[in-house]
Amino acid sequence: MRALVKTRPGPGLELIDVPEPVPGPMDVKIRVLRAGLCGTDLHLEGWDDWAASVVRTPLVVGHEFYGEVVEVGEDVTNISPGQRASGEGHIVCNTCRNCRAGRRHLCINTQGIGVNRDGAFADFVVLPATNVWVQPDDLDPDLGAVFDPLGNATHTALSFPMAGEDVVVTGAGPIGVMAVALARHVGARYIAVTDMSDYRLSLAKAAGADITINPASANLGVAMRDLGMKEGFDIGLEMSGAPSAVADMLDHMNHGGRVAMLGLPKDPFPINWGKVITHMITIKGIYGREMYDTWYAMSSMLSTSPRLREAVTSVITHRVPAENWQDAFAAARSGEVGKVIMDWS
């Protein structure tokens, strides 16, 4: 089969033929139809320090995907060939304290598809049946391929009650824009978004943001003034990993405000803990998706809201055949892009 492989340590990937994966007794084999390109994949292709520390080559990369079930293991009883599915990319141990308590998203032994084991930038991918999320037959394949990042956005956005609240999203990458769509769906009053890219701010505006701010020319105080807000933001969703964005957010949170942080910074950075303490701000770290409450929540919301489906799908700006994967990576690196989808059908 075709697969996009990190064949050796160092920058670059290769589209080569490799043997098809064989499912075990509790596994499912899926023919990949669409795959989403993630920032993680850019790190792996570029081979930065993080990639070098976690990856053993050779490795089939990629973890965001949608496809058709073609084979199930002999002990799998709840999934059938022909069904369409996405996949939870975190494989957990089921034996640590958190797993046994039902908190699988906090598993201390998590392995990532396309990072620690062969992934989904290929004609076929194999994963445990417990990680397969069966989709409706009529779901748009492109939308099915972004359930992983949509799950990140959903986990972050639903961390705190949001109905009627004033929300700020720092970072208008694909997950940040999806979070905007979710905040609008669940009933936020005002939604402000900050990002250094005017292109991405336009995507956030289309997804439901009331106001967008480029930090090169203004800060969130301008957003508050233009929205007529007399107090700070109630909910902060940090999607950028940028220290300056976090500082601006914390400076404009209401007393008792709550912040969910998904963006991963490159390096450690200081925080004004005096303000966090005296303003009684809650900060919560977010990683991945809750297994599987997040999946239920996003599937249910999408199934009942055409507007939300349209807003999430609008994040997809580039669709590229798998054989042109270099173009997909170049587009993603440009920054002037939303979500990039590769077609493996």
Known catalytic residues?
A: 40, 43
- Contact status, residue 89 vs residue 64, Cβ threshold 8 Å: yes
Closest CA to 34 of 332, 345, 324, 318: 345
User: In 3D, which of 170, 307, 192, 324 has the Cα closest to residue 248?
Assistant: 170
CA torsion sign for 61, 64, 68, 72 is positive
* Spatial distance between the Cα atoms of 123 and 130, rounded to a whole number of angstroms: 21
How far apart are the C-alpha atoms of 53 and 56, rounded to whole Å? 9
CA distance 66 to 133: 9
DSSP letter (8 states) at residue 18: -
Bridge partners of 319?
Answer: 341
Partners of 170 in the β-ladder: 194, 238
Quick check: bond before 58 cis, omega within 30?
A: yes
Q: Kindly state the helix (H) or strand (E) to which residue 331 belongs, with its residue range.
A: helix 325-334
How far is residue 243's CA from residue 253's CA, in Å, rounded to a whole number? Answer: 16
156 alpha carbon, distance to own chain's centre: 10
The greatest distance separating any two alpha carbons of the chain, rounded to the nearest whole angstrom, comes to 62
CA proximity to 36, closest of 330, 327, 341? 341
